[in-house]
Amino acid sequence: MSEKSTYAGLSEDEIAAMKERTAELKASSKRGAGAKKAEADLADCLAKLAEMDGTDKAVGETLHRIVTTVAPDLAPKTWYGMPAYARDGKVIVFFKPAAKFKVRYAEVGFNEFAQLDDGDIWPTVYAVTAMNAAIEMKLTELITRAAG
């Protein structure tokens, strides 16, 4: 997280993400439902991926390919200005690029609707610092499980 804090301890980056979420909700309410909304949501997700550089771009694009291949029922969209994939409007998995919050590593995260439960404790966010075949395989396994 960036060091400069503003209102109520939130960083400028966090405030910007909240503003992006507000804009997403407004745009979504105007889009209605159906194929046109899905196309617009996909376009927003792809635009966020296109803005990325380096490792963020490699991880984000690979994650997008994995999700659309192994869990095509998850709908691409943006969530707080980040690429995300949802079912019935509920975000299952999201990608938090390192550059967005000026942090050391990107994160692939899973929300409570992901089917990753494993006993009484399990990880829901994974730090990703590179993209290679082993990481791609692990992400594919996680997405497959999460999507159920």
- The domain ranges of the chain are 8-147
Does the pLDDT of residue 20 top 90, yes or no? no
Q: How far apart are CA 23 and CA 86, in angstroms?
A: 18
Give residue 134's pLDDT: 97
Mean pLDDT in residue range 31-41? 82
The answer as to CATH 3.40.50.620 being correct for domain 8-147 is no
Q: Which CA distances in Å does 87 have to 41, 43, 105, 121? A: 13, 17, 26, 24
Sign of CA dihedral 27, 30, 34, 39: negative
Report the range of poorest mean pLDDT among 22-36, 41-55, 56-70, 112-126.
22-36
- 31 versus 103: the higher-pLDDT residue is 103
Q: Which residue has the tokens 């963020």?
A: 56
Q: How confident is the model at residue 33 (pLDDT cuts 50, 70, 90)?
A: confident
Torsion of CA 34, 60, 24, 2, to 10 degrees: 170
Q: How confident is the model at residue 1 (pLDDT cuts 50, 70, 90)?
A: very low
Residue range 41-88, pLDDT digits in tens? 999 999 999 999 999 999 999 999 999 999 999 999 999 999 999 999
- What global pTM score does this model have? 0.84
Nearest to 80 by CA among 137, 144, 145, 23: 23
- 10 versus 116: the higher-pLDDT residue is 116
